[in-house]
Amino acid sequence: MTPAVAPFETRFGTGYVVHDRRRVLKVILPGTDDRPELPVRYHPAAEDLERYMKGEPVDFSEYSVRIPASGIVERVLRYVKQIPYGDTTTYGEVAEALGTHPRIVGLALSRNETPVLIPCHRVVSKEGLGGFRWGKEWKRRLLKLERSTLGR
DNA sequence: CTTTTATAACAGC
DNA sequence: GCTGTTATAAAAG
């Protein structure tokens, strides 16, 4: 299946869902100006992302995403995909659950191609925020979005 | 507070 | 295989 892109509009700008109809290959957050040179084709995840960015509690865990990894990296990403909306964990807790080291969790999450669908922003460091591939500003923004939705 | 050290897995060679 | 890197964490100074 030839890849295509489904744009979504947010108050932060335009983002893109790259997909092959069967699976989501990549999520491009607004402001990362990585404009994919691909045909435009609808995908439901784009609509859900628009709702999510407006503050609605959307559950993305049923979407099928491509995980371009194997071994522990794949296991970490699959585990993190199941973290529910508004919940947070630490690198250490994920590591313990999977029988590995916190640094490996960071390494795995830094390879995530599909932010929000795989909610890697819900994994924070024990003391502080932890890193984020697209800038900590986005991580703060996403966490704040989910907190305010749940009214905390 | 800052620096060091232990630690697991990967990429690139 | 070895080396440098990685979104960590705990302990030492």
| Terminal alpha carbon distance of chain A | 43
The overall average pLDDT reported for chain A is 96
pLDDT score for A34: 76
- The reported pTM is 0.96
| Catalytic one of A25, A53, A83, A120 | A120
Strand partners, A123: A89
Distance A116 CA to C4 C1' (A): 30
Do A15 and A7 form a contact (C-beta atoms < 8 A)? yes
Q: Is A120 a catalytic residue?
A: yes
Residue intervals in chain A for CATH 1.10.10.10: 71-149
Core vs surface per residue A54-88: b (16+ CB within 10 A) or e = eeeebebeebebebebeebbebbbebbbebebeee
pLDDT score for A151: 79
Angle at A146 between CA A81 and CA A15, to 5 degrees: 70
Q: Identify the DSSP state of A111.
A: T
Q: Is CATH 3.30.470.20 what the domain over A71-149 is classified as, yes or no?
A: no
Dump pLDDT digits (tens) for A81-96.
999 999 999 999 999 9
pLDDT score for A152: 66
pLDDT score for A1: 82
Which nucleotide lies at the shortest CA–C1' distance from A112? C7
Dump pLDDT digits (tens) for A15-67.
999 999 999 999 999 998 778 899 999 999 999 999 999 999 999 999 999 99
